[in-house]
Amino acid sequence: MNPPVTAAPTAPVTAPASVAKPSPAGAGRVARVAVLGASGYSGHEFVRLALAHPGLEIAALVSREYAGRPAGELLPGVDARITHLPAPVAPDALPALLADGAFDTLVTCLPHGAWKALAAAQPELATKPLRIVDLSSDFRDGSGGYVYGQPEAFRDSLAGATRIANPGCYPTAATLSLLPALEAGWLAGPVTVTALSGVSGAGRAPSLRTSFAELEGGAGFYKVGEVHQHVPEMARTFGRLAHTDVPVAFAPQLAPMSRGILLTAIAPLAKPLTPAQASEAYAERYANETFVRVLPAGQWPETRLVKASNRCDVAVTTVHGGRTLLATSAIDNLVKGAAGQAIQNLNIVLGWPEGWGLPVHGNPW
């Protein structure tokens, strides 16, 4: 897509092409889901969203720590009076449950490396005809037959897939902030990404670095440069979209908030663009994307406006006489950056409306 020659003074806010509907036609089938790592933040969030999704049934809750205890202890935010949940089981119970036909979909919400190790130890989980959505980084490189699950970028590859590698939260925000520019071949050099993240992105395991006393009242960088584990994922995705190598430098920062990512991506442009041209091209590219909202000129993303939603807010401009792109985005790292995107991917795989059962509105307060 070539950038438009003329543009309106401001880019319109992108309106979703469709909104989630309570009972889409042809959605009579139900996916019976086992949630592996249900006690973590992303696992808990997946269950919360799935309980409001008419096509998803929570068939198994898997947690080594909570096995044999009431589901209410594992998921204290769920009201067990009105929602039946299975008793949590340990991971070694999964093969028998699968053999009995208890579930047909496995959503893995484990720390990086843990699912790959478990799949090697229990190969029946990885080889049976089973839908698997992995929220870790284990197979984001496309190994093991996994498809990279970024719907807005690679939707066509997801239909009917049985192995989906959910993107990381930082790469999701970065990809959506740059997607129109990458596809149009605008960029002429390396990308520099900076991002503020809530501490839930580090997982639920206790850590001094993410404790309240260590983080409250300030913000700090970590893994700056090319050492963060998400840098190869970003570079791989950017290169795939731009059809050329795109080097990435990354400066992530922890902020004193529980959830949310606020991201900035800066890159040189091959040809100068005005801010209005960039904004109009972004609005056009995302016009039919339910979960990406392009903000008008002068408005910028805020994490609180996308909290608890599956929406990504994007705003873009150019600087340095139009020679540099400056793109910004905000997501909820536990929803669009993890559990919500997993459900979005499952909707595509199962042939359901992509937005079915997913919140597009944020909860700012």
- For 305-326, the pLDDT digits (tens) are 999 999 999 999 999 999 999 9
47 three-class SS: helix
Share of the chain above pLDDT 70, in %: 88
Confidence band, pLDDT 50/70/90 cuts, at residue 14? very low
C-alpha torsion angle, residues 183, 187, 192, 194 (rounded to 10): -40
The pLDDT value given to residue 23: 52
Amino acid found at 279:
S
Residue-wise over 292-328: b if at least 16 C-beta within 10 A, else e?
bbbbebeeebebbbbbbbbbbbbbbbbeeebebbbbb
Gap between the Cα atoms of 174 and 3, Å rounded = 21
Average of per-residue pLDDT across 83-111: 94
**Sequence letter at residue 134:** D
Question: Quick one: pLDDT at residue 15?
Answer: 46
In the predicted model, is pLDDT for residue 66 greater than 60? yes
Mean pLDDT computed over 186-192 = 97
Locate all alpha helices (DSSP H) within 17-113, ordered by sequence: 41-51, 71-74, 94-99
**What does the pLDDT average to over 43-58?**
96
Query: Sheet holding 105-108: strands in order across?
Result: 56-62, 31-36, 105-108, 131-134, 163-165, 147-148
Q: Tell me what pLDDT residue 168 has.
A: 95
Give the torsion sign (CA, 275, 280, 286, 291).
Answer: positive
Residue 82: per-residue pLDDT: 85
Q: Which long-range contacts (CB under 8 A, 24 or more apart) does 151-155 make?
A: 151/341, 151/344, 151/345, 151/348, 151/354, 152/176, 152/179, 152/286, 152/289, 152/291, 152/292, 153/179, 153/237, 153/241, 155/348
DSSP 8-class letter at 244: S
Q: pLDDT exceeding 90 applies to what percent of the chain?
A: 75
**Least confident residue range of 24-33, 268-277, 336-345, 353-362:** 24-33
How far is the C-alpha of 88 from the C-alpha of 339, rounded, in Å? 19
Token pair, residue 77, equals 């935010």
Q: Are 178 and 238 in contact (CB under 8 A)?
A: yes
Residue 242, C-beta contacts closer than 8 angstroms, at least 6 positions apart: 182, 183, 185, 187
Structure-block tokens of residue 107? 């959503």
pLDDT band, very low/low/confident/very high, at 201 (cuts 50, 70, 90): low
Active-site residue, selected from the candidate residues 38, 61, 169, 283: 169
Quick check: 4 pLDDT over 70?
no
Average pLDDT over the chain, rounded to an integer: 90
Is residue 7's pLDDT more than 80?
no
pLDDT at 3: 42
pLDDT band at 207 (very low <50, low <70, confident <90, very high): low
Q: What confidence tens digit (pLDDT) does each residue in 321-352 have?
A: 999 999 999 999 999 999 999 999 999 999 99
The pTM of this model reads 0.90
CB 211 within 8 Å of CB 151: no
Q: What is the mean pLDDT of residues 145-173?
A: 96
Q: How confident is the model at residue 28 (pLDDT cuts 50, 70, 90)?
A: low
Query: In this structure, how many other beta carbons lie within 10 angstroms of the beta carbon of residue 122?
Result: 15
Strand-strand pairing, 163-165 and 147-148: parallel
Q: Which are the contacts of 61, defined by CB distance < 8 A and separation ≥ 6?
A: 34, 35, 38, 47, 71, 74, 75, 85, 86, 87, 88, 89
As a whole number, mean pLDDT of residues 113-134 equals 90
CB 202 within 8 A of CB 261: no
φ, ψ of residue 318 to 5 degrees: the values are: -125, 150
Q: Is 312 a catalytic residue?
A: no
What pLDDT is recorded for position 13? 45
Does residue 304 register a pLDDT over 90?
yes
Q: Strand order of the sheet with strand 292-294?
A: 220-221, 248-254, 191-197, 261-268, 324-331, 312-319, 292-294
Q: What is the pLDDT of residue 309?
A: 97
Copy the structure tokens of residue 320. Answer: 């340095």
